Amino acid sequence: MLEARTHKYLREFIKRNSSNWKHLYSFGRIISSFVRKKENLLINSEIFLNQEWFPGILITLFLNQENSKFVIPAYHLQFLLNEHLPLYKELGFDFLVQNNQIIFSQHKVSIQTIDSLLDDYCQSNYEKQIIIFADIGNLKKDLKNTLRISLCKKDWFNHVDSFLREKKELSKIYDLLKEKFFLRSFPNQTLMSLNIEEANFLKKVIKENLDFSDKFVKLNRAFLSGWAFWINLDHDKFEWSLEVEPIDQFPEINELLSKNNMIFLSSLRRDNFFKRYLTNHNIKLTSSISLESNFAEKDIIIYVPSKLLLPNNPSFINSTIDNCKKFSFLSKGVSIFLSNDNNFKIKLATELASIYGQRVLLENYPNLDNQIVCSGYDWWINKLHLIYPPEQIIIPLLPFPNMVEPINQETILSLRSQSKNWFREFMFPEALQSIEKAVSPLRKNSGKLVFLDGRISNRKWGRDMLNMIQPQKTINYMYPFD
């Protein structure tokens, strides 16, 4: 059976290449079982933040002798192809690597990113096969980036002479819209929603010029599917571009997911929402499993000061910055301050630097034990695997989606039109997932997590969010003067 053969090869692999993950054998047998049965599976584990789990997937796919696809983030791609694959030659696997495909005599394993997977699927209906997604924590964001269509200035002009008359007409339209957009924009405004008249006019122009380019065809299809669209303004170059993306990304890959056998790997410790997304789109899981990572999990020490202010309080910024100064004072290790509000983040870094000088960094790697890093959530989440777990993470502001961005406005309008709870369906999951990823290093060293946003204690959903961070130990004070 596939499970027994996978276990045998994993044993040989570990003899030659040590592994710190005690669940690797179990992981390999689980994967091989679901591959053999062609059933859908979700596995949650923070082990997927590193590469120690690769052998359990690759050995199974190598032995299965059926075509399959392994979808991984771009940052894993070159490591896997250039450094990791040669290890399997030592086990006796005979394959060639060509165009990101591992080719055997009877089958092939395609190593892909999400954008190349969607490109392949749009171009051909390949046979039903196993597809393993290695990072579903970022699936929605990756789909957003892949599916988004940008119509820039060059897309209105860059075509052959046979379209000379059309080019002149489109150039007039582009300039007319540019004048309209900039006249009604605010100083330094970069994102702008279209009014009904502008939206209908743009749709009409795109529809009447489908022969002009493939991008116009894609845009027309996106409009018909109800995608969101808005304008990006470049005040320095005095130019504009149209941005279009789906409000809900899952319907765009529903056929892909329903026609193939799927294994989803999530680097979140526990899945709170992904199963619900799948259920809402009629994608059924046979099973959902959680596995421990390769470190001894410790309690996150959580502290929420009393009498915190809400962000809409006029005194919130000054009070919160004063609290940040206090929590930096006695810190002996690295401190991370997280906020997606750029103005607050820069003001906080400036205030802290006026006291602590070069100890304070703005989205930069700490190279001393007691440095203070002020950053947005995305920067920290992308870099945390490169930085030793900090002593403490301070969250002055919860990471809710920015309502200045038109796509978030359109998402809420869409949920409201369906009589759904837009906060619980959209805002809450997005914020909780960012926090879960950001605080994951604290489980390695029992680091401290401090919330300074009053909503975490003054709102029921805030207390729900707090309880979802596990394992945890709450404390009533951090310093004698609290």
Tracing tokens 């950053």 back to the chain, one arrives at 375
Work out the pLDDT band at 162, boundaries 50, 70, 90.
very low
Contact 452, 306 (CB under 8 A): no
Amino acid letter, residue 220? N
| Higher local confidence (pLDDT), 211 or 233 | 233
DSSP 363-398: S----STT-EEEE-HHHHHHHGGGSPPPSEEEESS-
Give Cα 379 to chain centroid, integer Å. 12
Beta bridge partners of 261: 130
Residue 49 CA to residue 268 CA, distance in Å, equals 9
What is the pLDDT at residue 482?
55
Residue 64 CA to residue 36 CA, distance in Å, equals 8
Residue 2 CA to residue 60 CA, distance in Å, equals 7
Using the predicted structure, report yes or no on whether residue 18 has a pLDDT greater than 80.
yes
Cβ neighbourhood burial of 75 (10 Å; 0-12, 13-18, 19+): exposed
Cβ neighbourhood burial of 91 (10 Å; 0-12, 13-18, 19+): middle
Tokens for 106? 């009877």
Residue 433 CA to residue 453 CA, distance in Å, equals 17
pTM of the predicted protein model: 0.90
Instruction: Report the side by side order of strands in the sheet with 392-395.
Output: 360-362, 372-375, 335-338, 392-395, 448-451, 300-303, 472-475
Torsion of CA 270, 273, 279, 282, to 10 degrees: -110
Tally DSSP H helices, then E strands, for the chain.
Answer: 22, 19
Q: Which residues neighbour 350 within 8 Å (Cβ) at sequence distance 6 or greater? A: none
Contact 181, 192 (CB under 8 A): yes
The domains found in the chain, sorted by start residue, are 2-143+249-290 (3.40.50.300), 147-245 (no CATH), 300-475 (3.40.50.300)
pLDDT tens figures, 85-96: 999 999 999 999
Spatial CA neighbour of 300 closest among 197, 110, 182, 451: 451
Tokens for 356? 């602590």
Residue 382 CA to residue 471 CA, distance in Å, equals 23
Using the predicted structure, report yes or no on whether residue 17 has a pLDDT greater than 60.
yes
What is the pLDDT at residue 479?
66
Calculate ∠ Cα 201-202-207, nearest 5°: 100
Using the predicted structure, report yes or no on whether residue 439 has a pLDDT greater than 60.
yes
> Over pLDDT 90: what percentage of the chain?
71
What is the pLDDT at residue 371?
93
Look at strands 96-98 and 101-103 and give their pairing: antiparallel
Using the predicted structure, report yes or no on whether residue 214 has a pLDDT greater than 90.
no
Residue 421 CA to residue 1 CA, distance in Å, equals 47
pLDDT tens figures, 336-388: 999 999 999 999 999 999 999 999 999 999 988 889 999 999 999 988 888 88
Tokens for 227? 């995608």
Residue 389 CA to residue 447 CA, distance in Å, equals 8
Of 58-62, 120-124, 138-142, 296-300, minimum mean pLDDT range:
120-124
What is the pLDDT at residue 328?
85
DSSP 67-94: -EEEE--HHHHHIIIIIITHHHHTTT--
- Supply the mean pLDDT for the chain: 91
Cβ neighbourhood burial of 172 (10 Å; 0-12, 13-18, 19+): exposed
pLDDT tens figures, 305-341: 988 999 999 999 999 999 999 888 877 899 999 999 9
Using the predicted structure, report yes or no on whether residue 481 has a pLDDT greater than 70.
no
CB environment 415-444: b (16+ within 10 A), e (fewer)? beeeeeebeebbbbbbbbbbbbbbbbbbbe
Contact 153, 449 (CB under 8 A): no
pLDDT tens figures, 169-205: 888 899 999 999 999 998 889 999 999 999 999 999 9
